[in-house]
Structure 1
Amino acid sequence: MWLFKKSQNPDPPPPSTEYDRPWRSMDWNKDRQNLLTTINNFQPGNKEVNTLRILLHGPQGAGKSSLFNSVNSALQGRITTRALAHSVATGCSFTLECKTYKVKKDRTGSFFPFTFTDIAGLHECGSVKTDDINKLLNGHINDGYFFNPLSAITEDNPRYKGNPTLKDRIHCLVAVLPANTVSMMDDGIIREMREVREKARDLGIPQVIIMTKVDEACPLVKEDLTKIYTSKKIKQKMEECSCRLGVPVSCIYPVKNYHEERTTNTTTDILILDALQSIVNFANDHVEDKVDNDVCLLKVDNE
């Protein structure tokens, strides 16, 4: 009788969820203060546009309002809740307000030279018309307008601005996508977001993706947020966001919003402030490019 011995070789270890080296550099020890200093000292390059306008858009429950609260918290050094965040379970909205937030800079009453415009999220059972968002990009919609999912704004609406200038327009479009559910997002919502992106592209407006809920998408990052740029899962999710919306990975910033914390922390702040610095720089570049182009066209017309 032949006796077969059980193999003594152990099972192979599971594949690693982490890269050996970060695929995007970040100095977790020094960057927070450097970022705060840079943002505090920032001034727009064009005097006519003294406030840069940033538009947040994306699906319902992605964390747009929470993103603004997180940016404000990182800048103020304490948890803030100025924008009322909506729950995914609240159902469908039929009256949607356009609200622009200033960010207070210090106790003297001054403000940072950028604002965030927040609109309700896109969802399947009636949401903001893409034509309305296009008009918002062009500066035609004043703050306080209530979006109607059944019809776009008309020129006779008191909130409609007939002749917007560069300072009235949006200077950077920020799409907010949730890392944990981006794979399951409705194709119709993605299609609407791509239409808005194409309109922004035609207007020369820079576009950024903020990828939220990274801790819910990756256990490694949930345990240690500094692993975000060594996480294979987060890189995969960023590539998926890029593929679905068409924005380069270099313009995608993964963050964790504040949502249950009672105090701020350095790691969360660094990711948020790093994204904010890029957004502000992109918006400022756009304004300067538009002014330069207008000057060139004026010279051509006068020749």
Structure 2
Amino acid sequence: LVFFWFLVYFPILFSPMISTLKSFKITGENVRELRFLLYGPVGAGKSSIINTIKSIFEEHQYINCLTASAVTGDSFTRKVSFEKYNVGNVPVTFYDVMGLEKDKLKGVHTEDIISALKGHVPNDYTFKECAPIDEDNRYYILKPTLNDQIHCLVSVIPADKISLMDEEVIQKMKDIRAAASKLGIPQVLFMTRVDQVCTMTQQDVFTLKFQNNCSNRLGVPLNCIFPVKNYSEEIKSDEKLNCMMLEAFTQIVHSANDFVKKNSNEKKRVE
């Protein structure tokens, strides 16, 4: 329902949202940047989300976080590294990892994602296909600080492939979500490619249908599922697209900041 609403009111919303985000300050002490980890099945559009957000804030089409054409069916993020992407002057960082696959020995290991959530994985670390990172690895961060941890977990699922997702991949995502829940890390879901499943005049009805499907399969509450569209064919800025993404981005920034604030206060009480 929110998708159609944005189509009408986006000119009024865009400027205040972008201004608020550009002036955003983190509440928690000793945290330099809010850290978001994007994960999901192969071809979900994780890298494209980063491209889209960077394009909005840097005011040009950003394509350095490379992506693959949707027709290939393969993950472009073949090098399974824990690579960070900053967003303009906003104090946030995104981490993109290789997509999840049904075979246990393919794609990124769920154990590696869980270690990253806890802050044990350093920037630019290359994950090993043979074994997840552990305490015996010389790069393992043994005592991570709040600044090393992930502050919000972002599941990414394409709307046009939800019903086709393999149960093994769904289970991997549930396992990762369960670990994040134990850590108290906020979680949201970005539902990409909504433009591929319905016409513009049907967006309000069909988007809710696919949100319900996502919620049922992954157990994510409806108010934590955000339909978004990434830049793919566009060569010029599209404010409708920007507004949808900024609304989702604003929500995860506030969720991550609340997590940092809460954990900073708890650390103070312990000390």
TM over 0.5: yes
Equivalent residue, structure 2, for 1:163: 143
Aligned residues: CA RMSD: 1.9
Give the letter for the 1:34 counterpart.
Answer: P
Which of 12, 33, 38 is residue 30 of structure 1 equivalent to?
12
- Structure 2 gaps, min length 5: none
Task: Name the residue aligned to 2:225.
Answer: 252
Q: Give deviations 1:201-251, integer Å, cap 9, x for gaps.
A: 100000010000001011x22xx6xx64xx211101011111111111111
Matched, 1:183 2:167: no
* Aligned position for 1:154: 134
* Equivalence for 2:65: 83
Counterparts of 1:186-197 in structure 2, within 5 Å, are 186-197=166-177
Name the structure 2 match of 1:8. Answer: none
Contact 1:207 1:251 in 2 (8 A): yes
Structure 1: segments with no counterpart, 5+ residues: 1-20, 105-110, 299-303
Q: Is the aligned partner of 1:97 residue 2:84?
A: no
TM-score, normalised with respect to structure 2: 0.92
Aligned to 2:184: 204
Matched with 2:211 is 238
Residue 70 of structure 1 is matched in structure 2 by 52
Q: Structure 1 CA distance, aligned partners of 2:166 and 2:69?
A: 18
1:150-174, Cα deviation, whole Å (9 max, x unpaired): 3111323343211110000000000
- 1:99 maps to a residue whose letter is E
Determine which of 193, 213, 223 is the counterpart of 2:193.
213
SS of structure 2 residue aligned to 1:96: coil
What is the one-letter code of the residue matched to 1:295? K
Q: Give 2:238's aligned residue.
A: 265
Number of aligned residue pairs: 265
**Residues 154/72 of structure 1: CA separation in 2 closer, same or farther (3 Å cut):** same
How far apart are the structure 2 equivalents of 1:208 and 1:266? 23
Fraction of identical pairs, as percent: 36
Aligned to 2:179, what secondary structure does the other structure show? helix
Q: Compare the two structures and name the one with the higher helix fraction.
A: 2
2:116 aligns with 136
Secondary structure (helix, strand or coil) at the match of 2:84 reads: strand
Shift of 1:24: 7.9
Is residue 177–residue 212 contact of structure 1 (8 Å, CA) maintained in 2? Answer: yes
**Which residue identity lines up with residue 259 of structure 2 in the other structure?**
H
Q: Which has the larger radius of gyration?
A: 1
CA distance in 2, matches of 1:240, 1:90: 22
